[in-house]
Amino acid sequence: MVDIVTVKYFLMSERVIKIKRGNRLKKTTKKDFKLFRKECKWWLNYFCIADYEVTYLRVDIGGSDARCTHDIVARWCTMRLNIEVNDRDHGHRFFCLVAFHEICELLLGEIGALAEESLAKNIVDTEIHKVVRKLENTIFASEYKKRHKKTKGRKRWK
């Protein structure tokens, strides 16, 4: 049996690919989590987001690689990295990009919260992700090259 799912790739343009059921999963390591947390903190500083209490967790969150939950009134945020991800090439750049993506969702999350009670919530979420993809392909791409010159290409998991 084959499922069609949307997957994030290194260029972060959404592509529809086929994944066989029972695809092997790889566990994220403490080193991956440390990199994710470090990158989240760097992007929080980059975007001057200092008014949130941020918690970082490495937990099972289902089908996502990572997830950001937040409360704009209480000003708290939880960044979660999944303990298992699909068996793909998940190297240094991948975890940096996932951290950037979640911080962008926090950055734009207030707009989503404004639409939470309206019928347009799905439309607003879609538009927020379009902006996040544009930020990934512009800001992240250039900053990653500057900050991680030593990391050539993709480091594969062992």
Q: What is residue 96's predicted lDDT score, i.e. its pLDDT?
A: 93
* HSE-up (13 A, CA, CB side) for residue 85: 23
Residue 106: helix, strand or coil by DSSP? helix
Compute the distance between CA of residue 60 and CA of residue 85 in angstroms, rounded to an integer: 10
Confirm whether 121 is domain-assigned: yes
Domains held by the chain: number: 1
With bands split at pLDDT 50, 70 and 90, how would you rate the model's confidence at 9?
very low
- DSSP secondary structure code for residue 39 in this structure: H
The chain-wide mean pLDDT, for the chain, equals: 78
The contacts found for 19-23 with CB under 8 angstroms, 24 or more apart, are: 19/86, 23/86, 23/87
With bands split at pLDDT 50, 70 and 90, how would you rate the model's confidence at 10?
very low
Q: What is residue 114's predicted lDDT score, i.e. its pLDDT?
A: 75
Residue 6 has pLDDT above 60, yes or no: no
**3 backbone dihedrals φ, ψ, rounded to 5°:** -105, 145
Tell me the CATH number at 118: 3.30.2010
Confirm whether 94 is domain-assigned: yes
Compute the distance between CA of residue 74 and CA of residue 66 in angstroms, rounded to an integer: 22
